Protein backbone atom coordinates (compact mmCIF):
# COMPACT_ATOMS: atom_id res chain seq x y z
CA UNK A 1 0.00 0.00 0.00
CA UNK A 2 1.33 3.42 -1.03
CA UNK A 3 0.67 6.00 1.69
CA UNK A 4 1.49 9.70 1.45
CA UNK A 5 2.50 11.05 4.84
CA UNK A 6 2.56 14.81 5.40
CA UNK A 7 4.65 16.50 8.08
CA UNK A 8 7.20 13.81 7.27
CA UNK A 9 9.87 15.12 9.69
CA UNK A 10 7.45 15.55 12.60
CA UNK A 11 7.27 13.36 15.69
CA UNK A 12 4.22 11.25 14.86
CA UNK A 13 5.21 10.87 11.19
CA UNK A 14 8.82 9.86 11.78
CA UNK A 15 7.90 7.36 14.51
CA UNK A 16 5.09 5.83 12.42
CA UNK A 17 7.36 5.45 9.39
CA UNK A 18 10.11 3.87 11.47
CA UNK A 19 7.81 1.24 13.02
CA UNK A 20 6.02 0.41 9.74
CA UNK A 21 8.71 -0.31 7.14
CA UNK A 22 6.29 -2.69 5.35
CA UNK A 23 4.29 0.32 4.09
CA UNK A 24 5.38 2.10 0.92
CA UNK A 25 5.66 5.61 2.34
CA UNK A 26 5.78 8.76 0.27
CA UNK A 27 6.99 11.17 2.90
CA UNK A 28 6.63 14.89 2.28
CA UNK A 29 8.07 17.61 4.43
CA UNK A 30 8.08 21.40 4.38
CA UNK A 31 10.84 21.53 1.72
CA UNK A 32 8.85 19.44 -0.74
CA UNK A 33 5.43 20.95 -0.08
CA UNK A 34 4.57 24.03 1.95
CA UNK A 35 1.19 23.53 3.60
CA UNK A 36 0.76 27.29 3.89
CA UNK A 37 0.10 27.25 0.12
CA UNK A 38 -3.21 25.37 -0.39
CA UNK A 39 -3.03 25.85 -4.19
CA UNK A 40 0.31 24.03 -4.29
CA UNK A 41 -1.13 21.32 -2.03
CA UNK A 42 -4.06 20.84 -4.41
CA UNK A 43 -1.74 20.55 -7.40
CA UNK A 44 0.60 18.13 -5.63
CA UNK A 45 -2.18 15.75 -4.57
CA UNK A 46 -4.03 15.92 -7.89
CA UNK A 47 -0.86 14.71 -9.60
CA UNK A 48 0.23 12.16 -6.98
CA UNK A 49 -0.36 8.42 -6.95
CA UNK A 50 -1.42 6.97 -3.63
CA UNK A 51 -3.79 4.55 -1.91
CA UNK A 52 -4.12 6.49 1.35
CA UNK A 53 -2.94 9.68 3.06
CA UNK A 54 -1.75 10.02 6.66
CA UNK A 55 -2.04 13.76 7.21
CA UNK A 56 0.11 14.66 10.23
CA UNK A 57 1.48 18.01 9.01
CA UNK A 58 0.17 20.97 11.02
CA UNK A 59 1.14 23.94 13.12
CA UNK A 60 0.41 22.15 16.36
CA UNK A 61 1.37 24.75 18.97
CA UNK A 62 -1.62 26.53 20.50
CA UNK A 63 0.23 29.85 20.90
CA UNK A 64 1.29 29.88 17.20
CA UNK A 65 -2.33 29.41 16.15
CA UNK A 66 -3.46 32.33 18.35
CA UNK A 67 -0.60 34.60 17.19
CA UNK A 68 -0.67 33.80 13.45
CA UNK A 69 -4.35 33.10 12.73
CA UNK A 70 -4.31 33.53 8.94
CA UNK A 71 -1.12 31.58 8.32
CA UNK A 72 -2.08 28.72 10.62
CA UNK A 73 -5.59 28.57 9.15
CA UNK A 74 -4.07 28.06 5.69
CA UNK A 75 -1.75 25.34 7.01
CA UNK A 76 -4.15 23.55 9.34
CA UNK A 77 -7.50 23.97 7.59
CA UNK A 78 -7.31 25.09 3.95
CA UNK A 79 -4.59 22.61 2.98
CA UNK A 80 -6.36 19.79 4.83
CA UNK A 81 -9.52 20.54 2.84
CA UNK A 82 -7.57 20.39 -0.45
CA UNK A 83 -6.17 16.98 0.54
CA UNK A 84 -9.63 15.79 1.60
CA UNK A 85 -11.12 16.88 -1.75
CA UNK A 86 -8.64 14.80 -3.76
CA UNK A 87 -9.09 11.79 -1.44
CA UNK A 88 -12.90 12.08 -1.74
CA UNK A 89 -12.71 12.23 -5.54
CA UNK A 90 -10.66 9.02 -5.63
CA UNK A 91 -12.32 7.36 -2.62
CA UNK A 92 -8.81 7.03 -1.12
CA UNK A 93 -8.60 6.72 2.64
CA UNK A 94 -7.63 9.84 4.61
CA UNK A 95 -6.29 9.42 8.14
CA UNK A 96 -6.55 12.83 9.79
CA UNK A 97 -5.26 13.70 13.28
CA UNK A 98 -7.53 15.78 15.43
CA UNK A 99 -7.18 16.49 19.14
CA UNK A 100 -8.64 16.31 22.65
CA UNK A 101 -8.52 20.12 22.48
CA UNK A 102 -11.84 20.10 20.60
CA UNK A 103 -13.31 19.67 24.12
CA UNK A 104 -11.31 22.40 25.91
CA UNK A 105 -14.36 24.68 26.21
CA UNK A 106 -16.57 22.10 27.93
CA UNK A 107 -17.82 23.05 31.38
CA UNK A 108 -18.68 19.46 32.26
CA UNK A 109 -16.02 16.85 33.03
CA UNK A 110 -14.64 14.23 30.64
CA UNK A 111 -14.06 11.56 29.54
CA UNK A 112 -15.82 12.51 26.32
CA UNK A 113 -16.98 10.01 23.72
CA UNK A 114 -16.88 10.35 19.94
CA UNK A 115 -20.55 11.41 20.16
CA UNK A 116 -19.90 14.27 22.61
CA UNK A 117 -20.40 17.71 21.06
CA UNK A 118 -17.05 19.56 20.67
CA UNK A 119 -16.79 22.93 22.41
CA UNK A 120 -13.51 24.71 21.97
CA UNK A 121 -12.01 28.05 23.05
CA UNK A 122 -8.72 28.04 21.10
CA UNK A 123 -7.80 28.66 17.46
CA UNK A 124 -5.86 25.37 17.24
CA UNK A 125 -8.82 23.28 18.42
CA UNK A 126 -11.20 25.21 16.21
CA UNK A 127 -8.96 24.53 13.20
CA UNK A 128 -9.29 20.81 13.90
CA UNK A 129 -13.08 21.12 14.32
CA UNK A 130 -13.33 22.91 10.96
CA UNK A 131 -11.39 20.10 9.27
CA UNK A 132 -13.52 17.44 10.96
CA UNK A 133 -16.73 19.16 9.79
CA UNK A 134 -15.49 19.26 6.20
CA UNK A 135 -14.51 15.59 6.32
CA UNK A 136 -17.84 14.48 7.83
CA UNK A 137 -19.83 16.45 5.25
CA UNK A 138 -17.83 15.43 2.18
CA UNK A 139 -16.08 12.09 2.69
CA UNK A 140 -16.97 8.46 3.28
CA UNK A 141 -13.53 6.90 3.46
CA UNK A 142 -11.87 8.58 6.42
CA UNK A 143 -10.43 7.97 9.87
CA UNK A 144 -10.40 10.92 12.25
CA UNK A 145 -8.11 10.15 15.20
CA UNK A 146 -8.60 12.46 18.15
CA UNK A 147 -5.33 12.27 20.10
CA UNK A 148 -4.73 12.96 23.76
CA UNK A 149 -1.42 14.69 24.50
CA UNK A 150 1.20 12.26 23.18
CA UNK A 151 4.50 11.49 24.86
CA UNK A 152 7.80 9.77 24.24
CA UNK A 153 11.52 10.40 23.86
CA UNK A 154 13.70 11.33 20.91
CA UNK A 155 16.17 8.99 19.23
CA UNK A 156 18.08 9.18 15.95
CA UNK A 157 15.61 10.05 13.18
CA UNK A 158 12.75 10.72 15.62
CA UNK A 159 12.39 14.08 17.40
CA UNK A 160 9.53 14.33 19.89
CA UNK A 161 7.18 17.26 20.12
CA UNK A 162 6.82 18.82 23.63
CA UNK A 163 5.53 16.25 26.14
CA UNK A 164 5.33 15.50 29.86
CA UNK A 165 8.19 12.96 30.06
CA UNK A 166 10.57 15.34 28.30
CA UNK A 167 9.42 18.27 30.45
CA UNK A 168 9.92 16.33 33.70
CA UNK A 169 13.35 15.09 32.61
CA UNK A 170 14.44 18.66 31.84
CA UNK A 171 13.22 19.79 35.30
CA UNK A 172 14.93 16.95 37.18
CA UNK A 173 18.13 16.53 35.13
CA UNK A 174 18.91 20.26 34.97
CA UNK A 175 17.57 20.91 38.51
CA UNK A 176 15.23 23.52 37.12
CA UNK A 177 12.10 24.17 39.21
CA UNK A 178 9.20 23.80 36.77
CA UNK A 179 5.50 24.39 37.26
CA UNK A 180 2.77 22.00 36.12
CA UNK A 181 -0.88 22.96 36.30
CA UNK A 182 -3.19 21.41 38.90
CA UNK A 183 -6.25 22.66 36.99
CA UNK A 184 -6.17 20.22 34.06
CA UNK A 185 -6.66 16.51 33.57
CA UNK A 186 -5.99 14.75 30.27
CA UNK A 187 -4.76 11.53 28.74
CA UNK A 188 -1.04 11.43 27.98
CA UNK A 189 -0.37 8.51 25.70
CA UNK A 190 2.88 6.85 24.63
CA UNK A 191 3.08 7.69 20.91
CA UNK A 192 4.66 4.31 20.17
CA UNK A 193 1.20 2.74 20.54
CA UNK A 194 -0.05 4.82 17.63
CA UNK A 195 2.88 3.81 15.46
CA UNK A 196 2.69 0.11 16.34
CA UNK A 197 -1.08 0.01 15.69
CA UNK A 198 -0.98 2.06 12.50
CA UNK A 199 -1.54 -0.86 10.09
CA UNK A 200 -4.64 -1.84 12.11
CA UNK A 201 -5.85 1.77 12.19
CA UNK A 202 -5.60 2.00 8.40
CA UNK A 203 -8.10 -0.88 8.17
CA UNK A 204 -10.63 0.32 10.80
CA UNK A 205 -14.20 0.99 9.69
CA UNK A 206 -14.48 4.63 8.59
CA UNK A 207 -15.22 7.02 11.45
CA UNK A 208 -13.87 9.00 14.37
CA UNK A 209 -11.83 7.33 17.10
CA UNK A 210 -10.44 8.64 20.37
CA UNK A 211 -6.81 7.68 20.88
CA UNK A 212 -5.90 8.02 24.55
CA UNK A 213 -4.88 6.00 27.56
CA UNK A 214 -6.69 6.35 30.91
CA UNK A 215 -5.31 9.00 33.28
CA UNK A 216 -6.88 9.87 36.62
CA UNK A 217 -4.20 12.40 37.64
CA UNK A 218 -4.00 16.11 37.00
CA UNK A 219 -0.97 17.38 35.09
CA UNK A 220 1.00 18.26 38.26
CA UNK A 221 0.34 14.80 39.75
CA UNK A 222 1.24 13.22 36.40
CA UNK A 223 4.58 15.05 36.37
CA UNK A 224 5.32 13.77 39.89
CA UNK A 225 4.51 10.22 38.76
CA UNK A 226 7.07 10.51 35.94
CA UNK A 227 9.72 11.79 38.38
CA UNK A 228 8.93 8.99 40.86
CA UNK A 229 9.24 6.35 38.14
CA UNK A 230 12.63 7.86 37.28
CA UNK A 231 13.62 7.04 40.87
CA UNK A 232 13.82 10.50 42.45
CA UNK A 233 13.13 11.04 46.16
CA UNK A 234 10.01 12.93 47.28
CA UNK A 235 12.30 15.68 48.56
CA UNK A 236 13.91 16.27 45.17
CA UNK A 237 10.56 15.95 43.40
CA UNK A 238 9.05 18.65 45.64
CA UNK A 239 12.04 20.88 44.88
CA UNK A 240 11.76 20.75 41.09
CA UNK A 241 8.17 19.76 40.24
CA UNK A 242 5.96 22.62 41.42
CA UNK A 243 2.19 23.07 41.33
CA UNK A 244 0.90 25.82 39.07
CA UNK A 245 -2.36 26.92 40.65
CA UNK A 246 -2.92 29.93 38.36
CA UNK A 247 -3.01 28.27 34.95
CA UNK A 248 -6.68 27.49 34.16
CA UNK A 249 -7.75 28.67 37.63
CA UNK A 250 -10.76 30.29 35.90
CA UNK A 251 -12.11 26.89 34.86
CA UNK A 252 -10.83 23.38 35.50
CA UNK A 253 -10.05 21.68 32.16
CA UNK A 254 -10.96 18.01 31.96
CA UNK A 255 -10.58 16.96 28.34
CA UNK A 256 -10.04 13.27 28.82
CA UNK A 257 -11.13 11.05 25.95
CA UNK A 258 -13.19 7.91 26.38
CA UNK A 259 -11.29 5.24 24.42
CA UNK A 260 -13.84 2.41 24.53
CA UNK A 261 -14.61 2.64 20.79
CA UNK A 262 -11.02 2.01 19.65
CA UNK A 263 -10.52 -0.56 22.43
CA UNK A 264 -13.54 -2.47 21.13
CA UNK A 265 -11.67 -2.69 17.80
CA UNK A 266 -8.78 -4.53 19.46
CA UNK A 267 -6.47 -1.55 20.08
CA UNK A 268 -5.72 -1.54 23.79
CA UNK A 269 -4.26 1.64 25.30
CA UNK A 270 -3.87 0.97 29.05
CA UNK A 271 -3.07 3.60 31.67
CA UNK A 272 -0.82 6.64 31.96
CA UNK A 273 1.31 4.90 34.61
CA UNK A 274 1.84 1.84 32.37
CA UNK A 275 2.78 4.09 29.43
CA UNK A 276 5.35 6.06 31.44
CA UNK A 277 6.95 2.83 32.63
CA UNK A 278 7.01 1.32 29.15
CA UNK A 279 8.62 4.41 27.66
CA UNK A 280 11.26 4.71 30.40
CA UNK A 281 12.03 1.00 30.02
CA UNK A 282 12.28 1.27 26.20
CA UNK A 283 14.86 4.03 26.60
CA UNK A 284 16.84 2.30 29.35
CA UNK A 285 15.94 4.62 32.25
CA UNK A 286 14.41 1.78 34.26
CA UNK A 287 14.70 -1.99 34.15
N1 LIG B 1 1.83 15.41 19.70
C2 LIG B 1 0.66 15.59 20.31
O3 LIG B 1 0.57 15.56 21.55
C4 LIG B 1 -0.58 15.80 19.50
C5 LIG B 1 -1.81 15.82 20.15
C6 LIG B 1 -2.97 16.02 19.41
C7 LIG B 1 -2.89 16.17 18.03
N8 LIG B 1 -1.68 16.18 17.43
C9 LIG B 1 -1.62 16.36 15.97
O10 LIG B 1 -0.79 15.35 15.44
C11 LIG B 1 -0.13 15.81 14.27
C12 LIG B 1 1.36 15.54 14.38
O13 LIG B 1 1.85 16.16 15.55
P14 LIG B 1 3.37 16.02 15.99
O15 LIG B 1 3.36 15.88 17.47
O16 LIG B 1 4.06 15.01 15.14
O17 LIG B 1 3.88 17.49 15.68
P18 LIG B 1 5.22 17.97 14.95
O19 LIG B 1 6.36 17.14 15.39
O20 LIG B 1 5.27 19.44 15.17
O21 LIG B 1 4.92 17.63 13.43
C22 LIG B 1 4.18 18.48 12.60
C23 LIG B 1 4.88 18.55 11.27
O24 LIG B 1 4.14 19.48 10.43
C25 LIG B 1 5.09 20.19 9.68
N26 LIG B 1 4.63 21.49 9.21
C27 LIG B 1 4.26 22.57 9.94
N28 LIG B 1 4.01 23.61 9.14
C29 LIG B 1 4.22 23.18 7.87
C30 LIG B 1 4.14 23.79 6.60
N31 LIG B 1 3.79 25.07 6.44
N32 LIG B 1 4.42 23.04 5.50
C33 LIG B 1 4.79 21.76 5.61
N34 LIG B 1 4.90 21.12 6.80
C35 LIG B 1 4.62 21.82 7.91
C36 LIG B 1 6.27 20.40 10.61
O37 LIG B 1 7.42 20.64 9.82
P38 LIG B 1 8.81 21.14 10.43
O39 LIG B 1 9.37 19.92 11.11
O40 LIG B 1 9.59 21.56 9.24
O41 LIG B 1 8.47 22.26 11.37
C42 LIG B 1 6.31 19.08 11.37
O43 LIG B 1 7.20 18.18 10.76
C44 LIG B 1 -0.51 17.29 14.14
O45 LIG B 1 -1.57 17.39 13.24
C46 LIG B 1 -0.98 17.66 15.54
O47 LIG B 1 -1.92 18.71 15.50
C48 LIG B 1 -0.52 15.98 18.12
Same domain for 193 and 56: yes
State the distance from the centre of ligand 1 to the C-alpha of 160, rounded, in angstroms. Answer: 10
**How many C-beta atoms surround the C-beta of residue 282 within 10 A?**
14
State the distance from the centre of ligand 1 to the C-alpha of 61, rounded, in angstroms. Answer: 9
Tell me the pLDDT of the chain (287 aa) as tens digits.
Answer: 999 999 999 999 999 999 999 999 999 999 999 999 999 999 999 999 999 999 999 999 999 999 999 999 999 999 999 999 999 999 999 999 999 999 999 999 999 999 999 999 999 999 999 999 999 999 999 999 999 999 999 999 999 999 999 999 999 999 999 999 999 999 999 999 999 999 999 999 999 999 999 999 999 999 999 999 999 999 999 999 999 999 999 999 999 999 999 999 999 999 999 999 999 999 999 99
| Residue whose C-alpha is closest to residue 219's, from 145, 286, 151, 277 | 151
Tell me which residues have their CB closer than 6 angstroms to ligand 1: 7, 9-13, 29-30, 34-36, 56-60, 75, 97, 99, 147, 149-150, 161
Same domain for 193 and 266: no
Same domain for 175 and 87: no
State the distance from the centre of ligand 1 to the C-alpha of 135, rounded, in angstroms. Answer: 19
Which residue's CA is minimally distant from atom 20 of ligand 1?
10
State the distance from the centre of ligand 1 to the C-alpha of 235, rounded, in angstroms. Answer: 37
Q: Which atom of ligand 1 is nearest to the CA of 31?
A: 33
Same domain for 123 and 252: no
Whether residue 155 lies inside any domain: the answer is no
Domain span including residue 80: 2-150+187-211
| C-alpha count within 13 angstroms, C-beta hemisphere, residue 119 | 12
Same domain for 175 and 85: no
Total number of domains constituting the chain: 2
Whether residue 223 lies inside any domain: the answer is yes
Amino acid sequence: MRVIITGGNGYIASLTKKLNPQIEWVSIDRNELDLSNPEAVKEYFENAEFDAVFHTGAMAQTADCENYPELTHRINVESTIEIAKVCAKRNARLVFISTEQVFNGKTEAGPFTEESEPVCVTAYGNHKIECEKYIYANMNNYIVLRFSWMMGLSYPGVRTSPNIIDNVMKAMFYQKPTKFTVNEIRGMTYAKHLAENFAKILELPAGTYHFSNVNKNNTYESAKIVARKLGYSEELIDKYILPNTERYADRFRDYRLDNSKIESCGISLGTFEEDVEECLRDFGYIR
